[in-house]
Amino acid sequence: MRHVIAFLLLLPASALSLAQGPHALTLADVDALVVSQGRAVQLARHAEEGAEADRVAAAVSPPPQLSFNALSIDPHNLGPKGAWNRYADSTLRVDKTIELGGKPELRVAGAEAGLKAARADVADAERAQRLAAASAYWDLKLAQRQLEISEEAARLADEYARVARRRELAGDLPRMEAEKLQVEARKARNEVSVARLTLERSKGGLATLLGMEDDAAGLTAVDPWPPLRDPDLSAVSVEDRADVRAAMARVEQARQLFSLAKAQRTADVTVGVEFEHHPPDGNRLWGVGISMPIGVAARQEGPIRKAAVALADAELMLAQVRAQAGLERANAVAAVKDASERVQRHEGDLIPQARSVLASTEFARSRGALGMQDLLDARRTLHAAELDAEQAHAEFAKALAALAAARRTAVADDPSTLSR
C-alpha cells in the first residue's frame, strides 16, 4: 500500500484526474502516462529485471557436492549395537569444482553487458513509445478538428438546403438547383459520419498505447497545434542514441560469450576430500582426490563456431541500427521543413484565397452572374483547403515529435522536447 501511495504522488495531477470523467489530455500528460503505464515500456523493464537476475546467477560458482556412501553391509552380521560400530564401510565426501580459464570472469562480464543492453532497451522503449504516443495524440487532435470542420460544413449545407427548399416552394428557385443542394447536404452528413468514425479509431489507438482502453471514449486532445518556428536541427551523435547503445552492449556481450566458449576448452578440475569409517579395522581414514574430464577441447568446436556467428550477427545489427538512426534523423529534419512549408502555404495563401473566392462567388451568385455549380465548387475548394491545412498542422506536429525522438539520447531528456 505504501508503494501505491508513493506512485500516485509522483503522477501528474492530470493523471490523477483520469477517473473523474472525460479525459482532457495535454501532450505532457500523454508523455508521462505512456512512460509510467505503457505496456511496451513495462515489458522492457521486466526484461531489465530478468537481465539483473542473469547477472546475479552468472556470479554464482558451482556449489560443493556432499555425498555419503555406506558399503560392504552384511545384513546377517551388522556388528555391535550403535550406528557408529556397525560393520559397514561408510564414506563422507566433499567435492568442489574449480573453474579454470577465466570462465567466471567472462560469464559475469557477459551478464553485465546484457544488463547494460537491457537498460538501454528501456530507454529506447520509452523513446519509441513517446514518439508513438505523440503521433497518436496529434492524430486524435486532427480527427477532432476534421470532425468540427465537417460538422460546420454540414450545418451550412443543411441551411443552404432548407433555404433552397423554401425558395423552390415559393417558385423562386428551379427544382434542379434545390435538389443539388439537397445532395450536397447528404454528402456533408456522410462526411461527418466518416470523420466521427475516424475520431473513434484515433481515440482507440491512443488509449491502447496508454493502457486506457476502458476510458477511450472520453479521451480528448486539448493542446493547440505547435506554432511554426525553426526547430533545433543541431546534430546529435548516433552513438548517444539508446538503441545504438543497446546494440553496442550486445556486441560486447557476444564478444564475452565468444571468449567464454573458447575458455570451455580448458578443463575444470574437481578436488575432493573424504572421511572413511570402517569398523572394526579402521575408525578414522582420510582421503583426497582430484578429477578432470578428458578430451574437452575437441568437443567445443561447435559452441565456439556458434558463438562466433552470434558475434558477427551482433556486429551487423549494430551497423544496421547506426544506419537506421542516422536515416531517421535525416528524414525527421526533411519532414519538419516540408510540413512547415505546407502549413505556411495553406495558412498564408490557400485558405485566404479560397475564402476570397467563395465570398466573390456568393456575391456574383446573388446578382445572378454565376450558377449554382460555381458556388458549390467554391465551397468545396474552401472546405478541402481547411481540411488540408489541419492535415499539414498534424504532420508538422508529428514531424517535430519524430525529430525529438531521433535526437533523444540514452540519457533522460525533457519530455517537452517532443513538441519542440
More confident residue, 298 or 135: 135
Q: Is residue 15 part of a domain?
A: no
**Which residues have CB under 8 Å from 288's CB, separation 6+?**
271, 272, 273, 274
Res 233: pLDDT: 64
Q: Is residue 35 part of a domain?
A: yes
Query: For the ranges 77-91, 223-237, 243-257, 339-353, which has the lowest average pLDDT?
Result: 77-91
223: CATH: 1.20.1600.10
Q: How many CA atoms lie within 13 A of 142 on its CB side?
A: 22
Question: What are 265-319's pLDDT values in tens digits?
Answer: 989 999 999 988 777 666 678 899 999 888 877 788 899 999 999 999 999 999 9
Q: Is residue 18 part of a domain?
A: no
Q: Is residue 119 part of a domain?
A: yes
**Domain of residue 355, residue span:** 25-419
Q: Is residue 136's pLDDT more than 90?
A: yes
pLDDT band, residue 411 (cuts 50/70/90): very low
For CA atoms 401, 407, 410, 413, give the dihedral sign: negative
Res 116: pLDDT: 94
Cβ atoms of 51 and 111 within 8 Å: the answer is: yes
Q: How far apart are CA 233 and CA 417, in angstroms?
A: 12
Cβ atoms of 87 and 79 within 8 Å: the answer is: yes
Res 410: pLDDT: 57
More confident residue, 212 or 177: 212
Percent helix, strand, coil in the chain, to 5, is: 70, 10, 20
Residue spans of alpha helices (H) in 346-371: 351-366
Q: How far apart are CA 403 and CA 235, in angstroms?
A: 11
- State pTM to two decimals: 0.77
Q: Is residue 417's pLDDT more than 80?
A: no
Question: What are 324-335's pLDDT values in tens digits?
Answer: 988 888 888 888
Q: Is residue 179 part of a domain?
A: yes
Cα–Cα distances in angstroms (integers) from residue 12 to residues 26, 28, 31, 127, 214, in the given order: 11, 9, 11, 19, 20
Cα–Cα distances in angstroms (integers) from residue 69 to residues 48, 66, 115, in the given order: 44, 10, 43
Give the pLDDT mean for 152-168: 84
Q: How many domains does the chain have?
A: 1
Question: What are 21-68's pLDDT values in tens digits?
Answer: 468 999 999 999 999 988 999 999 999 999 999 999 999 988 999 998
pLDDT band, residue 165 (cuts 50/70/90): confident
Compute how many other C-beta atoms are within 10 angstroms of the C-beta atom of residue 277: 17
Q: Is residue 20 part of a domain?
A: no
Cβ atoms of 342 and 389 within 8 Å: the answer is: no
Q: Is residue 249 part of a domain?
A: yes
Res 205: pLDDT: 94
Res 82: pLDDT: 61
Q: How far apart are CA 245 and CA 322, in angstroms?
A: 10
Res 84: pLDDT: 61
Give the pLDDT mean for 215-221: 90
Q: Is residue 12 part of a domain?
A: no
